[in-house]
Amino acid sequence: QKEVEQNSGPLSVPEGAIASLNCTYSDRGSQSFFWYRQYSGKSPELIMFIYSNGDKEDGRFTAQLNKASQYVSLLIRDSQPSDSATYLCAVKATGRRALTFGSGTRLQVQP
């Protein structure tokens, strides 16, 4: 079992819809959770982080964390074609500096 699992997609949604991206992790000692966006041929860029159970909202993005169930999700409201990218979930374990990344979910927003 991979430490961080994501559905590879592609996840296709129409413009204006809500895109829901999910991630599960195996290490119960995980402390912080990050969502990175990666456009094709580019480097990953951080869009959200969360470390407390519940929801965290930032503009059109909402991160949700459930430590008991070991999953973290990202909701993108009012999806735009410019949101089309691969979304990487990353997890940081307590006491460890490095991140463990999932393989990413490719999102396609259809105009």
Partner 1 sequence: DAGVIQSPRHEVTEMGQEVTLRCKPISGHDYLFWYRQTMMRGLELLIYFNNNVPIDDSGMPEDRFSAKMPNASFSTLKIQPSEPRDSAVYFCASSPTTRRADYEQYFGPGTRLTVT
Nearest distance in Å: CB 31, partner 1: 6
One of 40, 95, 98, 111 touching partner 1 (CB under 8 A): 98
Question: Which amino acid type is present at position 41?
Answer: G
Select the span of 15-23, 40-48, 57-65, 66-74 touching partner 1 (CB under 8 A). 40-48
Under rule CB under 8 A, residue 89 binds partner 1: no
Binding residues with partner 1: total (CB under 8 A)? 20
The smaller minimum CB distance to partner 1, of residues 91 and 109, is found at 91
Alpha carbon distance 15, 77 (integer Å): 10
The smaller minimum CB distance to partner 1, of residues 76 and 92, is found at 92
Q: Kindly report whether the peptide bond that precedes residue 44 is cis, defined as omega within 30 degrees of 0.
A: no
Under rule CB under 8 A, residue 61 binds partner 1: no
Nearest distance in Å: CB 41, partner 1: 9
**What own/partner pairs with CB < 8 Å and gap ≥ 24 does 39-46 have?**
39/85, 39/86, 40/85, 40/86, 44/88
Rounded (to 5) percent helix, strand, coil in the chain: 5, 55, 40
**Helix, strand, or coil here: 68?**
coil
Residues in contact with partner 1 by the rule CB under 8 A: 31-32, 42-46, 49, 51, 88, 92, 96-104
